[in-house]
Amino acid sequence: MKFFLDSAKVDEIAYALDAFAIDGVTTNPRHVQVAGKPFLTTIREIAELVVGTDIPVSVEVNPHIMATEAMVAEARKLAAISPNFVIKLQCVEPVFKAIRILNEEGIRVNCTLIFSAMQALQAMRSGAAFISPFIGWKEANAEETRSFIEEVTLIRDNYGFESEIIVAAVRNARQIVDAAMVGADIVTAGLAVYQAGFDHPYTRDGIQKFCDFWDQTEYE
Ligand code: E4P
């Protein structure tokens, strides 16, 4: 199970790379806006953090673009900036041809904004290197998501598609564990979600108790 950081904040990404060896980075227009700098500046700074590694960084094409040719042109521009860049394209019909064209040129696509197993199936058939089913948004809409990820994973395995499944819009550790249990390849979550998941109140209680015993015991 790979952990990707869902962020465009350079300091957060640098921290997560160093502190818990994240396997990849995903950005989106919201993350870039929150990071506070122009789009190209932000993605270039992120690229510098991973230079010389094979850590993938998903960068999203202008979401206004809806035509295959324009998607491909923009994807080529972004991919030329860094070999680490995986081009994030939203799951609309023109994207399927764009994925095929970009694949032939060795440009990897992360097909994003996937909310149904059918969308996932078609993105995988088209050859997306990564697909991003969003679970947090579905759960906010009171939809069950574990079986969604199970279906996507089963379909991928049934047909031996090479796409890696990134469970996206992850809000808590339970969702990460569920994704791992159903065999998804990757989760992407914000720094705070990972940090909350690494922590447990019993661990903190235990540390306090053991410190108390330690302090009441001679060392030698
Ligand atoms: C995934 O690649 C997306 O960037 C992300 O998970 C979107 O969800 P959020 O911004 O609502 O967390």
pLDDT of 204 reads: 98
For the beta carbon of residue 104, count every other beta carbon within 10 angstroms.
9
Ligand 1: residues with CB < 6 A are 6, 26, 28, 30, 112, 132, 136, 168-169, 188
**Interval 62-108: pLDDT, tens:** 999 999 999 999 999 999 999 999 999 999 999 999 999 999 999 99
Q: Is 183 left (phi over 0), alpha (psi -120 to 50) or beta?
A: left
Let me know: does 73 contact 100? Beta carbons within 8 Å: no
Quote the distance between the C-alpha of residue 2 and its chain's center.
9
Residue 142 backbone class (left: φ over 0; alpha: ψ -120 to 50; beta: rest): left
Cα 182 to ligand 1 centre (Å)? 20
Q: What is the mean pLDDT of residues 169-193?
A: 97
Amino acid identity of residue 156, one-letter, is R
Q: Are 89 and 68 in contact (CB under 8 A)?
A: no
Q: Ligand 1: which of 28, 167, 186, 191 to mutate, judged by most atoms within 8 Å of the beta carbon?
A: 28
Written as six digits, the tokens of 177 are 């564990």
pLDDT at 115: 98
User: Ligand 1 centroid vs 208 CA: distance in angstroms?
Assistant: 36
C-alpha span between 109 and 44 (Å, rounded): 18
Q: What is the pLDDT of residue 212?
A: 98
Q: Are the C-beta atoms of residues 41 and 22 closer than 8 Å to each other?
A: no
Q: Is residue 167 within 8 Å of 149, Cβ to Cβ?
A: yes
Banded model confidence at residue 117, pLDDT cuts 50, 70, 90: very high
Question: What per-residue confidence (pLDDT) applies to 144?
Answer: 92
**Residue 57 three-state SS:** strand
Going from the Cα of 204 to the center of ligand 1, the distance in angstroms, rounded, reads 30
Average pLDDT, integer, range 184-212:
98
Reported CATH class of domain 2-215: alpha beta
pLDDT tens digit string along 125-152? 999 999 999 999 999 999 999 999 999 9
pLDDT tens-digit map of 53-74: 999 999 999 999 999 999 999 9
14-47 pLDDT tens trace = 999 999 999 999 999 999 999 999 999 999 999 9
The preferred substitution site among 6, 89, 176, 185 for testing ligand 1, maximizing ligand atoms within 8 Å of CB, is 6
CA of 194 to the centre of ligand 1 (A): 14
Question: So where are the chain's domains?
Answer: 2-215
